[in-house]
Structure 1
């Protein structure tokens, strides 16, 4: 979704973060804590504090994340820090609400996987809104910005630092389930972010350049790039057509190209961003 009005964009991002915070809180209160499955980062500390000292998760969340948000001021832009604070506030609010599903099972691998999936989706939604959940995500954002590490993978690294020692409190089996949950969450997050802004890049080499370009322009109603290329073997100049489109459009264009020129060479690639401002959200 493209929103040009600044206030509308801020409101839309804020709503996305609220939705992500709600999903995140459901994962903790309905899947992790009832089955004594830990977490990483600050969330891991909240569950350990709850299991060992009966400290309310909302209190641990707001205090510990507040400290890490102050660190974020040093390394991240003010907008990201502001949105992160907004996320932490709403997560703390939702953590204080009664459980939504009251789900319980003796098959503890189920809540571990379900919690990981919900965690990955929740953090992905919050990232799309321009924020973080503070904690290890702030550290992961810093690693992503300065060292190029994928955000989900960086989060997994920092989360394991907390999750593995938690075995002394929640037990070895639950520690293993925690690692499963963290891995699933990181995999879902990486997948979620890679789909943000996903498009197809179609490159066409044909002797019917003008006709195909005209038909594509009529069909797509958007800009098309002509690249001046030269074949090395025959040393002949051969223009290439380059266009970025959606998956649905690509499925329609390939048969059209084949109809005009059955001998055309068509290369379809996945691309993840078509605007520079989106790059930070997909890594």
Structure 2
């Protein structure tokens, strides 16, 4: 069932990405990063089919990835890349041109980012720069982000020579939105807050949190750096909507409590995402 679910989600992601690319990026003559950007530029210059060019460009990388990366990752990546190529051609006539290039860039960023995020979250990629980035990270210690960013900038800069600086600048806006949406999809919508409480009344605060908020807590052993005294450090993960409640609760018990509230990018487990 897990494999079927992944295949289904990769298919949905590939379709959303392809629709966004055709409806907003290509329809408004915007540029794109990576191997997709190269294929789009060749489409603009020579009217080559974008989907099939993406597939042809990635075939050599599949053989390289086979030697350096895992079999499961490679199979899912080939599946995702082929689907993207096919869907791009099937949705080639879906066009939503607009005179507002900023609006087009924003919609392109959201839709392509959503599609890619779903694909990445289910263990696949659309090959291209991502395979190169993974190899660079594995053997040369270069981060994924640095390699992908460098390739994207190179492709966008090349596109600017043919399409103009204005198109390139709007395209960079779309790329930024794409990256933010990818992060959001991969990290999950169940972002929360982590609360660290240092208090002499930690046991009473723990009971109140459990009884009033229904949240679990963890007591960690700590020691004051100045006094050297042992203290309990209370750790609790809550929803964003519960921040005010827990602060008021702590203050009602110990006004001198030391409270740290920080962002949690993703939470898995009881009470949050499974």
TM-score higher than 0.5 = yes
- Match of 1:263, SS state, is coil
CA distance in 1, matches of 2:210, 2:143: 38
1:191 deviates by 5.1
1:195 deviates by 5.2
1:45-82 per-residue CA deviation (whole Å, 9 max, x = no partner) reads 22122222222112112222232233223333322222
The reply to whether residue 211 of structure 1 matches residue 204 of structure 2 is: yes
1:191-223 per-residue CA deviation (whole Å, 9 max, x = no partner) reads 554556644221111222222223334467675
Q: For structure 1, which segment, 243-252 or 24-33, has the greater mean C-alpha deviation from structure 2 after superposition? A: 243-252
Partner in structure 1 of residue 166 of structure 2: 173
Partner in structure 1 of residue 234 of structure 2: 241
Contact 1:13 1:128 in 2 (8 A): no
The reply to whether residue 260 of structure 1 matches residue 239 of structure 2 is: no
Partner in structure 1 of residue 42 of structure 2: 49
Contact 1:150 1:190 in 2 (8 A): no
In structure 2, stretches of 5+ residues that fail to align are 269-274
Partner in structure 1 of residue 127 of structure 2: 134
TM-score, with normalisation over the residues of structure 1? Answer: 0.80
Change (3 A) 1:268 1:113: same
Would you say how many aligned residue pairs link Structure 1 and Structure 2?
267
- Match of 1:268, SS state, is strand
RMSD: 2.9
Alignment of 1:186-201 (within 5 A): 186-190=179-183, 192-193=185-186, 198-201=191-194
1:168 deviates by 4.0
Partner in structure 2 of residue 118 of structure 1: 111
The reply to whether residue 93 of structure 1 matches residue 86 of structure 2 is: yes
The reply to whether residue 62 of structure 1 matches residue 55 of structure 2 is: yes
Contact 2:160 2:167 in 1 (8 A): yes
In structure 1, stretches of 5+ residues that fail to align are 1-6, 276-283
Partner in structure 1 of residue 271 of structure 2: none
TM-score, with normalisation over the residues of structure 2? Answer: 0.82
